[in-house]
Amino acid sequence: MKKHNFNAGPSILPKVAIENTAKAILDFNGIGMSILEISHRSKDFQAVIDEAVSLFKELMEIPEGYQVLFLGGGASLQFCMIPFNLLNKKAAYLETGVWAKKANKEAKLFGEVDIVASSADKNFSYIPKNYQVPADADYFHITTNNTIYGTEIRYDIDSPVNLIADMSSDIMSRKVDVSKYALIYGGAQKNLGPAGVTFIIVREDILGKVERQIPTMLDYRTHIKEGSMFNTPPVLPIYTILETLKWIKSLGGISVIEKMNIEKSDLLYNAIDNSKMFEGPAAKDSRSLMNICFVMKEEYKDKEDAFMEFAKQRGMIGIKGHRSVGGFRASTYNALPIESVQALVDCMHDFEKENA
């Protein structure tokens, strides 16, 4: 039976990226050694990281003055690394979910944090609007996609101060004007590669302006100077990122990926909106392209477990909603084919016919 992978992360990757990574584990570039055992200082791996950086810049149309880094520690390490490098006195944060809260919690260790708006009052089911970003803030931090709640900022904000964005779960899912951001970061394990590597896109001119001393390992300038190789980088995940970037380019780039993602999300959201049994908790103007959350309507709540088992028998993997919100979540990342979304929609229709 075909499996349909809706896991929220680590999540589905392009088949070709997985296959080529598997080949490289056995024999990398025909050199008779696995990529798991080569030196990160070798010419063979330097070529990998150079091409990955180049493709990242090409696909996202990153302007001059920005650097692309591949580091360890996950996006969670960036929650403290960002204020360590950038927060002098005050930072502004938009609170749209658990990960945004974790980010602003770390920033409070380094200075004043202004929560300019929060959607906590409605369990983070919408993206706040009509807020003011203080002009004296060192930066404004947003989390563009909220995996748990199924909301997303699908536009580039005009910020009066340096804009920082956690794009862990929607990187390269839509066209982004990088010039509007001072720093973009995220874990790779949603749209780019396996767990273990974090990408950072940083505009160099924002660095070196804080008054505090920064530990060497936590200073972005260290990693820029050393080309992401100050210490041993996550070699294998970076290789898989390169293979994923090649796949994105082969399809026609991010604009093509965005069109595909809109088609997938429209298909599933239409099924939810026209269902007798299911409904979506996220506000319609805040819905995510990447994480589509839905629940049983009140009169069918007792059938949630039955649907979960029904879906499992049909090959649906990873659709259980996060424990903090319940219900169901279908993560429709770049590599998920529309056929899998159609299979889930058919599953929902069939279950509804039998039980509604």
208 conformational bin, left if phi > 0, alpha if psi -120 to 50, beta if neither: left
Between the alpha carbon of residue 55 and those of residues 63, 113, 254, 338, the distances in Å are 13, 35, 12, 25
198-203 and 66-71 beta bridge pairing: antiparallel
Q: Would you call 247 a catalytic residue per the annotation?
A: no
CA-to-CA distance for 336 and 245, rounded, in angstroms? 15
The pLDDT assigned to 184 comes to 99
225, 251, 277 - which closes a domain: 251
Q: Are 268 and 292 in contact (CB under 8 A)?
A: yes
Is 74 a domain residue?
Answer: yes
What dihedral do alpha carbons 318, 320, 322, 323 form, nearest 10°? Answer: -130
Reference 220, options 61, 228, 56; nearest CA is 228
Domain match, 228 and 238 both: yes
Q: Are residues 87 and 174 in the same domain?
A: yes
Tokens representing 144 are: 């563009």
Establish if 121 belongs to a structural domain. yes
> Structural domain tally of the chain?
2
Regarding whether 267 and 169 lie in a shared domain, the answer is no
Active-site residue identified among 138, 170, 190, 219: 190
Q: Do 180 and 286 fall into the same domain?
A: no
Asked if 21 contacts 343 with a C-beta cutoff of 8 angstroms, the reply is no
Same domain membership, residue 167 and residue 132: yes
Q: Which of 251, 269, 300 is the last residue of a domain?
A: 251
The pLDDT score that the predictor gives to residue 236 is 98
Question: What local confidence, expressed as pLDDT, does residue 356 receive?
Answer: 85
Give the whole-angstrom CA distance, residue 130 versus residue 106.
25
The reply to whether 99 belongs to the active site is yes
Q: Are 283 and 151 in contact (CB under 8 A)?
A: yes
* pLDDT < 70 stretches in the chain: none
Give me the catalytic one of 138, 166, 170, 219: 166
pLDDT digit string (tens) for 143-157? 999 999 999 999 999
Q: Check residue 323 and give its pLDDT.
A: 87
- Is there a catalytic annotation at residue 350? no
Distance CA 36, CA 34 (A): 5
- Strand 66-71: give its sheet, edge to edge: 66-71, 198-203, 183-187, 163-166, 140-143, 90-95, 112-118
Instruction: Reduce the DSSP state of residue 200 to 3 states and report it.
Output: strand
pTM greater than 0.95 (yes/no): yes
Residues 23, 44, 90, 99: which is the catalytic one? 99
317, 184: one domain:
no
Please give the pLDDT value at position 88: 97
Q: Domain limits at 344?
A: 253-355
